[in-house]
Structure 1
Amino acid sequence: MRQIVIVGGGSAGWLSAGVIAADHAGAVQVTLIESPDVAPIGVGEGSWPSMRDTLRRIGVQESDFLRCCDAAFKQGSRFDGWLTGQGDDHYYHPFVLPQGFGETDLVAHWQRHQGVGARPFADTVSFQPRLCAHGRAPKQASTPQFAAVANYGYHLDAGKFGAFLKAHCVEKLGVRHLLDHVVAINSAENGDIASLRTAAHGDLAGDLYIDCSGMQSLLLGRHYQVPLREQAHILFNDRALAVQVPYPQPDAPIASQTTATAQAGGWIWDIGLPSRRGVGHVYSSAHCDDAQAEAALRAYIGERDIATPRKISFTPGYRERFWHRNCVAVGLAGGFIEPLEASALALVEMAAIAISDDLPFERATMDIVGRRFNERFTYSWERVIEFLKLHYVLSRRTDSDFWRDHRDSASIPERLAELLQLWRHRAPARSDFPRTGEVFPAASYQYILYGMGFDGQARARGADHAGVAEQYFREAATLAERMLPALPDNRTLLAHIARHGLPSI
């Protein structure tokens, strides 16, 4: 396995190139070809904490990344209006695990002892919601690059991120970059891809082809005709309007979380970068037309003279197979559901790392690797769909068919329906998600369930350790009190990093 050819740039293409080139320096040649006429979609602006490990793995300096990608820190998500759409309806899904998670049954004791008017679950078991509410950064200026006081990912400019990765891959990792058009795909006798016919560079041969061509899915979808497993019957959103919004003042606060605000026919994301906000409305065309979606977006922003939003249409779903013969799809070429919980970029990272870790040394083992990859990522996509659906099925909103239809039992995956029955009597536990490398841990399900006011009553298992749980609740509150005055706000820390950088580990 000597030649890896990646079709398409953007975050998917360049992350795949970076991980493989860094892991297999000197052993393989990575070539990335992208059309000069096709721009990446460029709206995937939220990441998970895993991105810190990925960037470190490919040799990026965090200070350089933050400066070049107009990036900021993300400590989780805040959901506004998802439960009832009335009053102060919000909750957090932080990146920090609950204090004492796995040591005692926090949920049962929170439900039993907090009483009416209880503090929200996430605010009780984690210090991070208070950091987000006060706009605090997750680290100090003295904290080394990629290290954290509070667990964090990033908000970033997707276009600048792709350009940054390209420069790093080409200049530091030896990735060969071609701007050209793929005009034909040449097949070998056994059905593999033998080479790509290009407009200016002739035939481009490789041992493994990675399809990062976006929703076109030139290799896996168009050439191999691997079908898309559509998921619109479960998750209805299939359109998005995206716009960049300037801050009213240059020193305006930068949010510490992605804010997702429920609307009659979908929801609006709001992501804070140092220079601007990225705001968009994702919605179901079966429940909301484009004009209604744009009106809701403009009403949310509070300005009528914003730039014309960019419309993005997609079919929610994932490929029946991701690896076929000597071709594997990463990113949008393999599927897309919706941007809730920023799973798209995380799945790109997971796929790139899985390909690199199991990179076949010869064609004879590729089919084995491919079968394992397909099984793993089919499982991962199914868990993502269930987790995103969880946000909708727990809503009590009755203001539109969009929310009522999401609670229809026919639209709820069977496994999720079974888990919801179990969770009426106990909290989500690690045993519900037994695989190594689960996409979302049991703690994330707890944050969503009890943030959304799930009416199940968890019973403590084993000895009643109410005192232990209360100790962890106090610990979370104490940590918040200590961190709030010790951590700078996001803009202050990012300005310091722009001037002075971060210490090396």
Structure 2
Amino acid sequence: MDIKKVAIIGGGTAGWLAANHLGKALCNKDDISITLIESPDVPPIGVGEGTVPDIKKTLLSFGISETDFIRECDATFKQSIKFVNWMDKKEHGENNFFHHLFDVPLRNEANLLTSHWLSEKKDVCCYAEMLSSQHKICEEGLAPKSITTPEYQGDLAYAYHLNAAKFAKLLASNAKSKYFVKHLLANITGVNLSEDGSIFSLTTDSQGELEFDFYIDCSGFDSILINKALKVPFKDVSKTLLVNRALVVQVPTAADAEIPPYTVATAHQAGWIWDIALSSRRGVGLVYSSSHMSDEEAEEKLDNYLGESKQNLTYRTIPMKIGYREKFWHKNCVALGLAQGFLEPLEATSILLTDFSAEILAQRFPSSTAQLAQLEKRFNHSMVYAWDRVVDFIKLHYCISDRTDSEFWVDNKKSATIPMSLQEKLALWESYIPISDDFFSHFEVFFLENFLFVLYGMGFKTKLKNDRLPVCKTSLAMINQRKEITNHLQKMLPRHRDLLDKIKQFGLQSL
């Protein structure tokens, strides 16, 4: 049977990303319709406000103007994640930090510079500063591009911070106008299955019974289709990733306040705090393990962090079920977004995995039910691998920290909490600098450069065969060239807020 009617259950970022990916992939097929069904009564979670650089490629592929995106979504530029106090304060000082930057050198340059840094680090700058000019650009609060730079291009790599609710509206408008995605407001009151266990139809409160050929579950933590109807088991990874709750709040800021061009992730004794600056407010969230910190202690910790800016703000508590579905595609249903699972907000993995999964689905979308079994197997194999590798990367931040000031940090270093795949890599990297061959799959999601910034930003000890290698002339030339580039960028790049103000007033040059 041909697949001609596709339903997406749930709006928000996940649903409308899926609608655009599928709409773009299927727009030349006149006999296929896409309908997004959204509950009028369920508000979005609305805390996924950080992205990674791949989002630029996605927005460009949808034909969305970067100027419109920045204006309509209160977007700001994100060039890094600044990790504060993730290391021992006694050893590295109060407010110690490192950057996970987005702008990186070529891989052969990274290997040479890493070797140089490991052998000479007592005498040179911090790791990220050696690898990229972006370290100083971030620390000085500069933008990654100028007003004359065309849309989606930059002098340095970047992603965005954004208002998630406004982002979903922009995606919805684009999907409906460009790809003719239908939009229905209704609550799903029942899911009707066929004899073979696939989904036959949906029962709704306002639209009656609706029948489709293929279903995409973007219904968030509720997982109406993949969980409640199809009963696909959940793989719990809370014994690896220990945080399971978040207190979130939106903090108003002054119209002329400085906007850091990076996410701030500040560690505390039972987790960490994100701080994301948009043009008129900050999104702040305290992430913690309820096994290591009480709700009352968490509120007090967030009070102290906000200080005078707390005023009369009310916190919202979000419980986090840490893990993912054992299968993401079952029969004629695929789960995306929070319906797939959730690991925690570190490194903006939620939007990243949603965009990643939706694009893969769109590239190999079934045209008939005869293809379902083959594509299901392929999709599940790829996505389980991707999720497992993201677990490894998130865990890396915790298990290599030298903090021992609380049970939380001690527990994170216990081998029982560290996946064997990560243990094997760390054992290898004690003797060898990571190389691209250590990340051999397209479905890794996080690659060599991401690991390098975290590993050596946190002082991971790779024991080179010779403690002090001969100074490489090529490395010194790279370092000197980096300094020249940094000086040039410092002179030419505008303040972050100044660029955003100009974009709102004049716009960027269209491609």
**Which category describes the TM-score, using the shorter chain as reference length?**
over 0.9
CA distance in 2, matches of 1:459, 1:479: 32
2:288 pairs with 280, 283, 303, which one?
Answer: 283
1:213 maps to 2:219: yes
1:394 shift after superposition: 1.2
CA distance in 1, matches of 2:297, 2:19: 40
1:20 pairs with 14, 19, 22, which one?
Answer: 22
1:459 shift after superposition: 4.6
Distance 1:122 1:269, change over 3 A: same
CA distance in 1, matches of 2:109, 2:392: 22
SS of corresponding position for 2:27: coil
CA distance in 2, matches of 1:459, 1:195: 64
Paired position in structure 2 for 1:270: 275
Q: Contact 1:81–1:262 at 8 Å: present in 2 too? A: yes
Q: Contact 2:141–2:261 at 8 Å: present in 1 too? A: yes
- Of 304-313 and 220-229, the range deviating more from structure 2: 304-313
Deviations for 1:444-487, whole angstroms, at most 9, x for unmatched residues? 11111111011222358xx9782222222222222111111111
Counterpart amino acid of 1:293?
Answer: A
- Aligned Cα root-mean-square deviation (Å): 1.6
1:318 shift after superposition: 0.7
SS of corresponding position for 2:366: coil
Counterpart amino acid of 1:25?
Answer: C
Paired position in structure 2 for 1:316: 322
Paired position in structure 2 for 1:444: 450
CA distance in 1, matches of 2:470, 2:375: 46
Paired position in structure 1 for 2:256: 251
SS of corresponding position for 1:302: helix
SS of corresponding position for 1:196: strand
Paired position in structure 1 for 2:98: 91
Counterpart amino acid of 2:303?
Answer: R
1:415 shift after superposition: 1.1
Counterpart amino acid of 1:300?
Answer: Y
CA distance in 2, matches of 1:74, 1:458: 34
Aligned residues: 502
Gaps of 5+ in 1: none
CA distance in 2, matches of 1:26, 1:98: 39
Counterpart amino acid of 2:375?
Answer: V
1:75 pairs with 60, 79, 82, which one?
Answer: 79
Paired position in structure 1 for 2:4: 2
SS of corresponding position for 2:18: helix
SS of corresponding position for 2:257: coil
1:224 shift after superposition: 0.9
CA distance in 2, matches of 1:501, 1:111: 44
CA distance in 2, matches of 1:11, 1:493: 26
- Of 184-193 and 234-243, the range deviating more from structure 2: 184-193
1:48 maps to 2:52: yes
1:483 maps to 2:468: no
1:110 shift after superposition: 1.3
Distance 1:159 1:365, change over 3 A: same
Q: Contact 2:398–2:413 at 8 Å: present in 1 too? A: yes
SS of corresponding position for 2:442: coil
1:397 pairs with 395, 403, 406, which one?
Answer: 403
CA distance in 2, matches of 1:275, 1:166: 23
1:140-159 equivalent positions in 2, closer than 5 A: 140-159=146-165
1:59 maps to 2:63: yes
Deviations for 1:71-95, whole angstroms, at most 9, x for unmatched residues? 1110110000001133241000000
Paired position in structure 2 for 1:300: 305
1:340 shift after superposition: 0.3
Deviations for 1:178-209, whole angstroms, at most 9, x for unmatched residues? 00011111112222111111111122222210
Paired position in structure 2 for 1:497: 503
Deviations for 1:8-49, whole angstroms, at most 9, x for unmatched residues? 000000000011112211422110001111011000000011
Percent identity reads: 41
SS of corresponding position for 1:377: helix
Paired position in structure 1 for 2:476: 470
Distance 1:459 1:387, change over 3 A: farther
Deviations for 1:118-160, whole angstroms, at most 9, x for unmatched residues? 3111111111111110111111101111112110110001111
Counterpart amino acid of 2:85?
Answer: G
SS of corresponding position for 2:68: helix
Deviations for 1:363-391, whole angstroms, at most 9, x for unmatched residues? 11121111111111101111111111110
1:501 shift after superposition: 1.0
2:43 pairs with 34, 39, 43, which one?
Answer: 39
SS of corresponding position for 2:165: helix
1:72-471 equivalent positions in 2, closer than 5 A: 72-85=76-89, 86-98=93-105, 101=108, 104-116=111-123, 118-247=124-253, 249-303=254-308, 304-459=310-465, 466-471=472-477
Deviations for 1:223-282, whole angstroms, at most 9, x for unmatched residues? 1111111011001111001101112x3111111110100011110000010111111101
CA distance in 2, matches of 1:129, 1:274: 22
CA distance in 2, matches of 1:395, 1:124: 21
CA distance in 2, matches of 1:400, 1:104: 35
Counterpart amino acid of 1:265?
Answer: A
Q: TM-score, length-normalised on structure 2? A: 0.95
Gaps of 5+ in 2: none
CA distance in 2, matches of 1:192, 1:263: 46
Counterpart amino acid of 1:258?
Answer: T
CA distance in 1, matches of 2:470, 2:364: 45
Q: TM-score, length-normalised on structure 1? A: 0.97
SS of corresponding position for 1:105: helix
CA distance in 2, matches of 1:430, 1:104: 10
Q: Contact 2:241–2:343 at 8 Å: present in 1 too? A: yes
CA distance in 1, matches of 2:264, 2:111: 30
SS of corresponding position for 1:285: coil
Counterpart amino acid of 2:372?
Answer: M
Distance 1:205 1:429, change over 3 A: same
Q: Contact 1:243–1:307 at 8 Å: present in 2 too? A: yes
- Of 211-220 and 160-169, the range deviating more from structure 2: 160-169
Counterpart amino acid of 1:201?
Answer: Q
Q: Contact 1:386–1:413 at 8 Å: present in 2 too? A: yes
